[in-house]
Amino acid sequence: IMEKSKSIAINFGIGVGILTLTSLLGIYYLKKSKVVRKRRTCVKLTNGKELIEKYDAFVFDCDGVVWSGGKAIPGAIEALGKLKSLNKKLFFFTNSAASTREHYLEKFLRLGADVTSEQIHSSATCAATYLAENGFKNKKIYTIGEKGLHEELKRVGLNPVGLEDNQYYGISPEKISSITIDPEIAAVVVGFDRNISYYKISYAAMCIRYSPNVLFLATNLDLTFPVHDRLVPGNGGIVEAISMGAGRGPDVIAGKPNPTGLNLILSLSGIDKKKVLMTGDRLDTDIEFGNNAGVDTMLVLSGCCKESDGISAKPFQSPSYI
């Protein structure tokens, strides 16, 4: 949310200037006319309450919007509670594929948010759904990623392998070049992996390069993600390393900005797109995700982006609101 001249104070103690998820609550109580950025066009609201009343469902990114690291963004949990009290439908979509829905649910509950597992979606659940619906059940999937990604793939009847490769470090290129590629590998799935190694990158790349029918699926291409006051490397670098070794990029990107996940949420909720607002802290994932799915979007400034980033965004990454 932008004001023509001076900063505005948002209720619920969020302070002045930095707008986070509590922007949703603040605009509910503002009485004066404010200027809100609407797809490169400033729309003047006669009543801030209209923005809350306009939408029946809100989809939120998690990292940088609801929490940062292990701590809630100031005011975020209160905002979710207020929206729930107004009978709004709430959904959450994280591009992280490192954990299961149950893990994320535990985190929400620990931070004080009253949500259910059915409200939580991730690039891991989208990857699993895509593979299960496209003939990969019971087939071997070479999977780079955390245990949570492996569990989500198993949940829908897939056969992920590769977790045991965490043990291989310091293997020479000569030895790797002589490794036999499993001919039963039908797909390579690449998610964020804290145990990434030269062996894993090499084996995944060789599966793709030397087995032309192997599907290459990336859970997301996030270059970074916010932890406390810093940005740390994300899955995008891992995918790029494998792509360079394989000689081609992913066939499928399961997470944002691919609109598949949001379209799934829309289908499950049965809500008109015009009544849905996607909220996130990244232009190249969250905002583009919402724009690709045809819903309104709001950029919050509690994560990766500054207000100037939203104002100068490319048309396909331009938020409806800041």
Q: Exposed, middle or buried: residue 50 (CB in 10 Å: 0-12, 13-18, 19+)?
A: exposed
72 phi, psi to nearest 5 deg: -70, 145
**Active-site option among 56, 61, 251, 281:** 56
- Tell me how far apart the alpha carbons of residues 211 and 162 are, in angstroms, rounded to a whole number: 17
- Tell me how far apart the alpha carbons of residues 316 and 283 are, in angstroms, rounded to a whole number: 9
- Tell me how far apart the alpha carbons of residues 234 and 217 are, in angstroms, rounded to a whole number: 16
Q: Exposed, middle or buried: residue 236 (CB in 10 Å: 0-12, 13-18, 19+)?
A: middle
Owner of token pair 């819903």: 295
- Tell me how far apart the alpha carbons of residues 296 and 319 are, in angstroms, rounded to a whole number: 7
63 is catalytic: no
Tokens of 72: 């809630």
Active-site residue list:
56
